[in-house]
Structure 1
Amino acid sequence: MTVVPAPVVVQYLYLHAPGDDFTYPSARAGSDAGRLAARYLECVAVQAASLRFSGVDCELMLVLNLEDPRAVLDEHGIALLGVIEELGVRRVTAPYDHAPDPDVTMFYSSRYVFDAILATAPADEPDRQLWLVDVDCVWRDPGRAFATLGAEGDALACVTIGYPPDWDVSGSTRASIGTLPGSTEPVPPWIGGELLAGRAGALRGLVATCEDLDAELAAAGVRLPTEEQLLTAAGALDRARFVDRSDLAGRIWTGPRHQAANPEDPASLALWHLPSEKGLSFRRAAAALVRRRAGALRRDLGETDRALKRFNITGATSTRLRNDAWLMTQKLRTLLPTRHRGTTHGR
């Protein structure tokens, strides 16, 4: 009887040093490297909890660029690392060898996914199933996701984003990438970076393909600083095979001011990518995990309607008001004299 190894879910996070120049608009962390790290580690912890609470067999990994991340973390960040370890997430260290040019500040760390692939996709297990996911994701039905991957052979599962042809995304558009010599279509699908899943061998092949393509484009004077741009170009030039799994995963912008074309039925998805929730519902859920009071979070993740409300996806007016009130409480605590407030794990 052949034993099929459990799928591997890989989160990855590049930790900036104090003084680095960076811009991550949805992180709600400003220019503070320590606060930014904590904001993303909150997401790591919540995503790991969503997998562990599901009871589905899988291996969890977190790729970091620092062997000892405590050097850039505050007390809250260190507490989050402890929670992540307790959830059975194995830490892996990998340098950022695929970084964009140093003058790039917007989403500077996006290409770190390529280093995460090489650090976790076993060369001697080319058929091992890997899921590379952004940290600000919540798993609703990982069992269904894991069971439905693999029929596409070496094609890699992704989420395509329906940007208008001329919508500027970090300096590129679908139409501009469609004008690259060799493009197979004038307006190629935009490959989102929140999900890359498939066989380990195919993922390693994707990295090699993107390295070669990046060098060719640079020689021609074309800069594509983010992973989404490079992946979209690889698909447009028929250098890589992707399959859109928007039936399994989706990028969902919450709040009243976004102009995104969200999935029509988030409740039907197995994986939610929630970029605008980093400073809200992820933060509240992570605070509960740090305080070892995760009973309500476990219950909410176990029921679709409750999960939709907790993460501000639908029916969330009262939840958002509660989130806003909680955030205001955290701000007020930071203004109180230290001797009156003690340690705050959710700030």
Structure 2
Amino acid sequence: MTLKKIYIATGFCADKEGEESHYPQVGLKSSSLKFQQIYLKCIVVFFATSIRHNPNAHHVLCTNLEKLPDIGNTETENFLEQLGVEIVRLPFTFEPPDNYFDSWKSTFYKLDLIKYFAKICDRDEAAVCLDSDCVWIDSIEGLAAEIQRSGYVTYNTGFNEKYKISHLNRRDLSQLYRELGLSLNEEIPLYCGAELIAAKDKNFQKLLGEIEHGWEFSLERFRQNKTKFNTEEHLLNFAYNSLQAPLGNGNAYINRIWTTLGGFNNASDRHLSLAIWHLPFEKKYGFKRLFEKVVDLQSEFWQLPDKELVVYLSLFFGIPKRTPQKLIVDTMDALRHRSTKIISKMTDPRLIN
């Protein structure tokens, strides 16, 4: 039996003025238009690459905004709808309280996507929720088959048990799991990333139930100033372990690929066999440049045959290796971003006496 319908989704939750959070990879004021446009360019590229490879999937963007900001001459919302993307307005119900954690507040919006698909996912339907800084380089066929077989698909990050993830390591998280009643013996569970959340039909309801349980626990711990789940990813891992979901059965389809300029770079030839690249560093680099091609419906992005598209995309993102041309433009962009951040700090009224 195959899935009769599959959703491919991402979210865009905008921070309000005066309620900003810290997003280290971007570094700008999170309520600013410039900040939002960086993510919107990723979203446009995300859906365009998926539509190229998954034309029969149902594409959904969930957002807390009444209208998406435009990007230059591109009417963002109209363009996405022209591509066939359904835009769903969802309130941010999992918004953490003030001072809950020091970064990534809007990532809790992923939990609202889980709540949405818990409501709409019917029998033999599935949804794949991804971070917007992901690029599709192949079809969803293999991933969909794994969802059908296993009920859930997760991505194992491979972090060792002592590595701190948003202030907690796997041992710390295991202790919280035990306090919530999970029987782990001496086991230290694996840690899965939240860039991929994939499940079929009623499994989203089960996932939501465990997340809500962990969320109430965390809010109470926050009120008591005790160790808690700091991020949506922490909560998701609690839910996976509570439901005994498979941990890492999605690693054949997605990888978190770092192409940091002058820093950590794990891109390799093996990534050419995946279906999805998660590219956190490329938000201000490859996504920005590919966006210009995507919004031109006559560009080579839309005209190239499928078999040539991976090579084309690799030039923008430096996989398996950054070309000399990409090195030059990335370096120039990095210098511009640094200058922008310095000017922004100098003119921030909160920092001026």
Greater Cα shift, 60-69 or 141-150: 141-150
| Paired position in structure 2 for 1:311 | 317
Q: 1:57 to 1:319 in 2, by over 3 A?
A: farther
| Paired position in structure 2 for 1:339 | none
CA RMSD, Structure 1 to Structure 2 (Å): 3.0
TM-score (normalizing by structure 2): 0.81
For this pair of structures, how many residues does the alignment match? 326
Contact 2:154 2:251 in 1 (8 A): yes
Contact 1:254 1:274 in 2 (8 A): yes
Greater Cα shift, 202-211 or 305-314: 305-314
SS at match of 2:284: coil
Q: 1:210 to 1:266 in 2, by over 3 A?
A: same
Q: Does 1:162 align with 2:158?
A: yes
Greater Cα shift, 54-63 or 313-322: 313-322
Residue 276 (structure 1) aligned to one of 272, 281, 304: 281
Q: Does 1:242 align with 2:246?
A: yes
Partners of 1:120 and 1:202 lie apart in 2 by: 10
Aligned residue identity for 1:162: G
Alpha-carbon shift at residue 312 of structure 1 (Å): 1.4
Q: Does 1:83 align with 2:79?
A: yes
Alpha-carbon shift at residue 113 of structure 1 (Å): 1.1
| Paired position in structure 2 for 1:65 | 64
Greater Cα shift, 75-84 or 185-194: 75-84
Contact 1:47 1:138 in 2 (8 A): yes
- Superposed CA deviations along residues 221-246 of structure 1, whole A, max 9, x for unmatched, are 4321311111222334x345134110
Contact 2:45 2:287 in 1 (8 A): yes
| Paired position in structure 2 for 1:193 | 194
Partners of 2:296 and 2:265 lie apart in 1 by: 34
| Paired position in structure 2 for 1:100 | 96
- Superposed CA deviations along residues 5-27 of structure 1, whole A, max 9, x for unmatched, are 33110111111123332111123
Q: 1:123 to 1:61 in 2, by over 3 A?
A: closer
Partners of 1:117 and 1:136 lie apart in 2 by: 19
Partners of 1:144 and 1:115 lie apart in 2 by: 26
Unaligned runs of 5+ in 2: 341-353
- Superposed CA deviations along residues 134-161 of structure 1, whole A, max 9, x for unmatched, are 111011112433442234343x111111
Partners of 2:121 and 2:271 lie apart in 1 by: 37
- Superposed CA deviations along residues 104-152 of structure 1, whole A, max 9, x for unmatched, are 3401111211111222444461431110111110111124334422343
Unaligned runs of 5+ in 1: 335-347
SS at match of 2:92: coil
Q: 1:124 to 1:167 in 2, by over 3 A?
A: closer
Write the mapping of 1:177-256 to structure 2, written as runs, cut at 5 A. Answer: 177-180=173-176, 181=178, 182=182, 184=184, 185-220=186-221, 221-236=226-241, 238-244=242-248, 245-256=250-261
Percent identity among equivalent residues? 23
